[in-house]
Structure 1
Amino acid sequence: MSASIMKRFAAAVVLAAITIAPAYAVEIKEVVSPKGIRAWLVQDDFVPLISMRFSFKGGSAQDPSGKDGIANLMTGLFDEGAGDLDSEKFQQQLDDVGAEMSFSADDDAISGTVRMLSDRRDAAVDLLALAVNKPRFDQAPIDRIRQQVVAGIKASERDPNTIAGRKFAEALYGSHPYGRQSEGKVETLGTITHDDLATFHKRNFARDNLIVAAVGSISPEDFAALLDKVFGDLPEKAQLEPVSDAKLGLDRTTRVDYVLPQTSISMVYPGVRRQDPDFFPVFIMNHILGGGTFSSRIYNEVREKRGLAYSAGSTLATKDHMSALIISTATRADRSNETLQILKDEVARMAKDGPTEEELVEAKKYLVGSYAVNNLDSSSAVASTLVGLQDQKLGRDYIDRRADLINSVTLEQVKAAAQKLLLTSPAVLIVGPPQS
């Protein structure tokens, strides 16, 4: 990237961070391209920068049998040559136009992000269109990226938490695709060819499983043209394999004996889907139980009162085919049983009595007030949030409605949500020195 472009891009990024408060307050517009591609746009002409995020539903859950890791491998190759540009030329042109481009995969989607200067938009969009539509998958980059992934896998094979996580995933998910290693295995990665990648790309990149959002200095009309240029020539429909909902293997304990200074503990309870009517009661209950960074019951009991751990808390995990409430901490090995019992006691107390009225009021204040900081603090974060809102089918007015949705939750609803989920026997993972 030339020095002048680098300075302009850096200045634009700083301005985007400073001015994001008015940016996210701007109306979220739905843009429909001439070819029927729908996307959301927050137009902000104050900063000469455009941030765009997109995702194709499917992800590593679509990895064919015996080709584990293909989605992850493919994401490392989109900027390694496309169309008539080999890897070196593609990277050089991307550098010349001052754009940033990246791709990633999770269980449910393959995602991409691009940030570009508005006055170099056309050149950056040309490169993005090539990467999305015509990735080359040349053998030399395949071998190089595969070697990097394999090196990471081999390094992680010596990490006790990685080993435990894999065993726990197998116990939780069984044969479901979520139980596989998304990065693949050494043996499966070695079987992946150029043709495998090209076929996987063709089956997974289409217009009907595409979600797009952008924030920045671009008009709806220009954004509509951009959508067709990048995505308009993709197949109309993706060829995705059906994926069933995962049935969590609860009520079991997985223990991994490993000589470590600390013992890690994880507990998994049922969760709720994002569209479930009980979502916000569960969301608030989780915050009070363990989701609040410095205010939750679990944090106070484990860290503040007893000093058993540096951190302890819970989170709601939601995927397309799974939802769970996960509690985790790490403590001294000789006090792991005590810590586990405290976690169980706090869960039982929440299930029996629910939160107090005071806890409910404080949780609502925090969850309403922290949303902008956690989700809307930069143009890239806003674009990512807009993709998530579309994915979850929450509507363009969700940000305006969210506070009312939270504030309307009653104490009785939170108590009922706690009883619904926390009376279940959890799956437990313990990683640490063998118990005497």
Structure 2
Amino acid sequence: MRRILTCLIGLILMTQTATANNIPIQEVKSPGGITAWLVEDHMVPVVSLQFAVRGGSSLDPQDKAGLANLVASTLDEGAGDLDAENFHKLLEDNSIYLSFSASRDEFRGGVKTLVANADMAWEMLSLAITWPRFDAAEVARVKEQIISDIQNNYSDPQWAAYRTMNNTIFAGHSYRLPGAGFEHTVTKLTPDDLRQWMQERMARDELLVAVSGDITADQLAPLLDKIFGGLPEKSKPFTLPEVKLQAAGKNFIIQRAVPQTKLVMVQPAVARADPDWYPATIINYVLGGGGFNSRLMLEVREKRGLTYGVDTQVQHYDHANIMVVGAATSNETAAQAVDLIKAEWQKMADSGVTAEELKDAQTYLTGALPLALTSTDKIADFVLQLQLEHLGMHYPQERLEKLNAVTAEDVARAAKRLLNTQALTLIAVGDPVGIKAEKLPDPAQTRGVK
């Protein structure tokens, strides 16, 4: 039955692939020289704009960890003459969705609006990024919310596993710092810190813009100056070193009196520009990224019932690339689950994939893109990501062609090169039986610092 369902899904995806892989992206330049990538779609009177400036939370000073996140969390808490209450009321009254976020490598913002309310939406976005208020009372309130969220994480084994992973493999690099910061660093952040961040980071030289929906290039060009023209021309220059992953092949335990052990395993992955990126994408899907069709789910969950779920994912950053395995199992079966994961890791390295696995992966991966681009904001976000990763306007079609060109021999070669059980770092949170590992302090006791 599963095989039939997979085939049916594949047929559906294949019928939509051609359209999605020919996204009509056009470049628009404003009179003031601001560039955006635009995908016009006049079927529905909605427009979405997404933007980013390079340089995210990884640029936060260690004693001000959480700064970029706090900026993102307070930019919509009043701007210009509008206090937080009136700012939010205008957004709600005009059905405007405005959001900001900070990740390791970039700071993002976005707005989605009905065409009828677009003028108001552009004005609200412009106000937020050029004249944010950062009123002391609102900043204090948001800081309390963030600190509360940080404290709530302490009891979560998954948080403890990933916090330990970041502290361990990214040791010595700013990638180890949590984007939300620590209790003690967020507590000390001030409105002046936020204003300084805006002066240093929110500038036109690192600005990328993507727009999708019911708007033409001629309409968009002058709007770019209206929205972003008030930003400084230059941001503060920055450089970040490449990450040298630490603790390869080591096992660590965070001891907790809980009935299950949370397992996280991680090793280096390939960069986007690597010739083996597309074979590695197939490897990830077959090994653990393909949900119930993946090898790890079949071996660890279905055949032996050791977990409700186990998966792999490739995390791609500007200065690091990692492949991560995540699972949870009973304390008594933790060692068995680890051994099974490593066995499948080695099996893939030794033998690659079958012809059937390759075809299923190609069908899904090439067909999944249309299902991901179902709204103007998702399309704008995708087009923005193309810019952030230097992939070019023709990437969707190139991706289709390169994925379909991958052979079983390519996968076998890449798997032998990339997968290495000796390089896997293991973090186990719980009271696992049979795992030999170094015990580390519980990050809940150190407030996430180590």
TM norm structure 1: 0.92
Q: Does 1:425 align with 2:423?
A: yes
Q: In the superposition, relative to structure 1, how do residues 24 and 81 fare at CA in structure 2: closer, same or farther (>3 Å)? A: farther
Counterpart position of 2:370: 372
Counterpart position of 1:5: none
> What's the CA shift for 1:60?
0.5
> What's the CA shift for 1:296?
1.2
Q: Does 1:247 align with 2:259?
A: no
Q: Does 1:209 align with 2:206?
A: yes
Q: Does 1:67 align with 2:64?
A: yes
3-state SS of paired residue (1:93)? helix
Q: Confirm or deny: 8 A CA contact 1:35 1:228 kept in the other structure.
A: yes
Counterpart position of 1:355: 353
> What's the CA shift for 1:25?
5.7
Q: Confirm or deny: 8 A CA contact 2:36 2:210 kept in the other structure.
A: yes
Counterpart position of 1:298: 296
* Map 1:13-92 → 2, pairs under 5 A: 27-92=24-89
Q: 1:251 and 1:284 mapped to 2: Cα distance?
A: 24
* Map 1:284-433 → 2, pairs under 5 A: 284-373=282-371, 375-423=372-420, 424-433=422-431
Q: Does 1:158 align with 2:142?
A: no
User: Which of the residues 218, 237, 248 maps onto 2:234?
Assistant: 237
> What's the CA shift for 1:24?
8.5
Counterpart position of 1:259: 257
Q: Does 1:199 align with 2:193?
A: no
Q: 2:265 and 2:62 mapped to 1: Cα distance?
A: 30
Counterpart position of 2:133: 136
3-state SS of paired residue (1:112)? strand
> What's the CA shift for 1:158?
2.7
Q: 1:23 and 1:167 mapped to 2: Cα distance?
A: 39
How many residues align? The count is: 417
> What's the CA shift for 1:355?
1.2
3-state SS of paired residue (1:190)? helix
Higher relative contact order (CA 8 A, sep 6+): 2
Q: Confirm or deny: 8 A CA contact 1:66 1:188 kept in the other structure.
A: yes
Structure 2 counterpart of 1:229, which letter?
Answer: K
CA shift digits 1:352-373 (9 cap, x unpaired)? 1111222212211111112211
Q: Does 1:270 align with 2:268?
A: yes
CA shift digits 1:281-306 (9 cap, x unpaired)? 11111111111112111111111211
Structure 2 counterpart of 1:109, which letter?
Answer: E
* Map 1:221-232 → 2, pairs under 5 A: 221-232=218-229
> What's the CA shift for 1:126?
0.7
Structure 1 counterpart of 2:328, which letter?
Answer: A
Q: 2:106 and 2:95 mapped to 1: Cα distance?
A: 27
Q: 1:189 and 1:298 mapped to 2: Cα distance?
A: 39
Structure 1 counterpart of 2:397, which letter?
Answer: D
Q: 1:362 and 1:286 mapped to 2: Cα distance?
A: 13
3-state SS of paired residue (2:205)? coil
CA RMSD of aligned residues (A): 1.9
Q: 1:92 and 1:315 mapped to 2: Cα distance?
A: 40
Q: In the superposition, relative to structure 1, how do residues 22 and 121 fare at CA in structure 2: closer, same or farther (>3 Å)? A: farther
Q: Confirm or deny: 8 A CA contact 2:101 2:109 kept in the other structure.
A: yes
CA shift digits 1:251-288 (9 cap, x unpaired)? 21121111222211111111011122211011111111
Structure 1 counterpart of 2:405, which letter?
Answer: S
User: Which of the residues 162, 168, 187 maps onto 1:171?
Assistant: 168
Gaps of 5+ in 1: 1-20
Q: In the superposition, relative to structure 1, how do residues 224 and 24 fare at CA in structure 2: closer, same or farther (>3 Å)? A: farther
Q: Confirm or deny: 8 A CA contact 2:212 2:379 kept in the other structure.
A: yes
Q: 2:162 and 2:176 mapped to 1: Cα distance?
A: 10
Q: In the superposition, relative to structure 1, how do residues 23 and 363 fare at CA in structure 2: closer, same or farther (>3 Å)? A: closer
Q: 2:304 and 2:261 mapped to 1: Cα distance?
A: 16
> What's the CA shift for 1:337?
0.8
Q: 1:185 and 1:107 mapped to 2: Cα distance?
A: 15
3-state SS of paired residue (2:321)? strand
CA shift digits 1:43-72 (9 cap, x unpaired)? 112211111111111110111231111111
* Map 1:110-121 → 2, pairs under 5 A: 110-121=107-118
Q: 2:182 and 2:387 mapped to 1: Cα distance?
A: 33
Structure 2 counterpart of 1:361, which letter?
Answer: K
Q: Confirm or deny: 8 A CA contact 1:24 1:376 kept in the other structure.
A: no
Gaps of 5+ in 2: 1-17, 435-450
- 320-329 or 82-91, which moves further after superposition? 82-91
CA shift digits 1:10-31 (9 cap, x unpaired)? xxxxxxxxxxx97986621111
Q: 1:169 and 1:236 mapped to 2: Cα distance?
A: 34
CA shift digits 1:137-167 (9 cap, x unpaired)? 1101110000111111122223333233222
Q: 2:148 and 2:275 mapped to 1: Cα distance?
A: 44
User: Which of the residues 105, 108, 113 maps onto 2:105?
Assistant: 108
3-state SS of paired residue (1:135)? coil
TM norm structure 2: 0.89
Q: 1:128 and 1:163 mapped to 2: Cα distance?
A: 36
Q: 2:77 and 2:311 mapped to 1: Cα distance?
A: 40
Q: 1:51 and 1:319 mapped to 2: Cα distance?
A: 25
Q: Confirm or deny: 8 A CA contact 1:58 1:240 kept in the other structure.
A: no
> What's the CA shift for 1:37?
1.4
| Ranges of 4+ aligned residues in structure 1 off by more than 6 Å | 21-24
Structure 2 counterpart of 1:359, which letter?
Answer: E
